[in-house]
Structure 1
Amino acid sequence: MPSPSTLPQSFRLDGKVALITGSASGLGAAIATALAQAGATVACHGNRRPATETAEAIGGQAADFRADLSSTTGPEDLFAQVHAKFGKVDILVNNAGTIHRDAAEDTTLESWQQVLQVNLTSVFQLSQFVAKDLIARSAPGKILNIASLLSFQGGIRVPAYAASKGGVAQLTKALANEWAPKNIQVNAIAPGYFATTNTEALQADETRNRQILERIPAGRWGQPEDLAGAALFLTSRASDYVTGTVLTVDGGWMGR
């Protein structure tokens, strides 16, 4: 990504407040850093792992917030905290997610509901809170959801995750349709296989690691920074005529 001083003005985020959920590490931290470098004031969210380190590394006005998105009251709590601190949210990045691996016949209703709450319901709740505030202020806004390759594919032993990410893709389109006339663009990124703590087990499995790399035309795992450019584009004025799209950032996986 170009240095902050050489970014075209349409990519600058000066004066904007961006809330990035699940930004304690990995993809969320990389997105928070990129948006901050473009001039945004970032609200970094964490839960079991606080986002303190991310906010401190970014510096400036960046702040960390803690809320449990697996609770139905967590999204409202998070939005209230950020709004109280900064007075507004112009950009929302719904990155927080969870996964439960088990055979479909053995997946409990409790596990199913937890995955759906974090990955899909909280995305709708936060989007709703942010959009209501933007509409009340007659302000433009950006909502970026983090989908998955399993928004398109079924996966194995992850029925709740696949259902939730398929839902994220459709929710993105539905919200885009409704809020485009209000100058709120809603898009999603579907990351491929990225080297994060969530995929450590796959990377360590010699057979699965080989199979994955053989399928990726780029021949490597993605790094969190590989998502930065796409995230900046979809949260900046450069994408004002882009809405309702799900952009794959996958090293060519879906084109294979």
Structure 2
Amino acid sequence: MNVPVPGELFDLTGRTAVVTGASSGLGDRFARVLAAAGAAVWASARREERLEKLAADVPGIRVMPGDVSSTEDRAALVERVVAEDGAIDILVNNAGTASKSRPHEESPEAFADVLATNLTAPFHLAQLVAGAAADRPVSIVNVSSIVGLVSTAPRGGAGYAASKAGLVGLTRQLAGHWGRAGVRVNALAPGWFRTEMNDALFEDDASLRWIERNTMLRRSGDPAELDGALLFLASAASTYCTGQVLAIDGGWTAR
């Protein structure tokens, strides 16, 4: 195979990327980073007005509103991108949700809803993208969490932990099935980064002290500290990397 020279390892010029959950938080950041590296980025989420603002801010980003928990919306997203750009080279399964209930209060319905967004949707999108690959290399990046690797009790719901752990297993299984076709599947497992989903945690002094006390670097992460890991997994820098989980967590899971 042709191996890029070091200066071109992270160059995504000519590549088409899809980022779900791109209307805020890490998804917004991921879309901007991929576009800055040269990719043509499709940003998807439910909140169209936020997507439009993102596209107005960053040349090279196009929007496709939709709900990843909808089978029809997932199919429409992939169909449109492939119709307009010919193929999808990079898929970042970032969209996620969580129940605010503790495990003993979390209903079976709420548990199932979390899995539908965090696990079923990434599987179906990966399936659709791999099916449309047409013998070209594809990088799928599933955004899991340290909650999928270790317990973070007393924080974190059962559905969220189960979905993120399931995403790790799914990543490895899909990598094994699709590797011979040139489809790489890896997972990014962020530690404690402030997002809309965990805003309340970061507003609580006791919770912040808990994060700092249990993280080797004694602090939460800055979203920019995920840029390099994302580009590594999405680009030619990781052409011999598949089925892996990259934890960017300040040392949380190494304790």
What TM bracket, shorter-length normalisation? over 0.9
- TM-score when scaled to structure 2? 0.92
What SS class does the counterpart of residue 24 from structure 1 fall into? coil
Amino acid at match of 1:152: L
Alignment of 1:80-119 (within 5 A): 80-119=79-118
Distance in 2 (CA, whole Å) between partners of 1:77 and 1:221 is 37
Mean Cα deviation higher: 16-25 or 147-156 = 147-156
Mean Cα deviation higher: 82-91 or 224-233 = 82-91
Partner residue of 1:36? 35
Partner residue of 1:54? 54
Q: Is 1:176–1:187's contact at 8 Å kept on the other side of the alignment?
A: yes
Q: Is 2:176–2:243's contact at 8 Å kept on the other side of the alignment?
A: yes
Partner residue of 2:227? 228
Q: Is 2:23–2:47's contact at 8 Å kept on the other side of the alignment?
A: no
Distance in 1 (CA, whole Å) between partners of 2:42 and 2:115 is 24
Q: CA deviation at 1:117?
A: 0.7
Distance verdict in 2 for CA 1:72–1:107, change over 3 Å = farther
The count of corresponding residues between Structure 1 and Structure 2 is 248
Partner residue of 2:140? 143
Amino acid at match of 2:54: T
Q: CA deviation at 1:57?
A: 1.5
Q: CA deviation at 1:55?
A: 1.9
RMSD in angstroms over aligned alpha carbons? Answer: 1.6
Partner residue of 1:195? 194
Distance in 1 (CA, whole Å) between partners of 2:212 and 2:81 is 40
Q: Is 1:69–1:118's contact at 8 Å kept on the other side of the alignment?
A: yes
Deviation by residue 1:70-120 (Cα, 9 ceiling, x = unmatched): 223331122123223323211000000000021323222221121111100
Partner residue of 2:151? 154
Deviation by residue 1:34-61 (Cα, 9 ceiling, x = unmatched): 11111100001111464222222211x3
Once superposed, which parts of structure 1, at least 4 consecutive aligned residues long, lie more than 4 Å away? none
What SS class does the counterpart of residue 243 from structure 1 fall into? coil
What SS class does the counterpart of residue 67 from structure 2 fall into? coil
- TM-score when scaled to structure 1? 0.92
Amino acid at match of 1:143: I
Distance in 2 (CA, whole Å) between partners of 1:98 and 1:239 is 28
Distance in 2 (CA, whole Å) between partners of 1:86 and 1:148 is 31
Amino acid at match of 2:241: V
Partner residue of 1:163? 162
Alignment of 1:176-255 (within 5 A): 176-255=175-254
Unaligned runs of 5+ in 2: 1-5
Q: Is 1:72–1:117's contact at 8 Å kept on the other side of the alignment?
A: no
> Percent of counterpart pairs with the same letter?
39
Amino acid at match of 2:192: Y
Q: Is 1:187–1:243's contact at 8 Å kept on the other side of the alignment?
A: yes
Amino acid at match of 2:151: G
What SS class does the counterpart of residue 51 from structure 1 fall into? helix
Q: Is 2:89–2:138's contact at 8 Å kept on the other side of the alignment?
A: yes
Partner residue of 1:3? none
Q: Is 1:196–1:224's contact at 8 Å kept on the other side of the alignment?
A: no
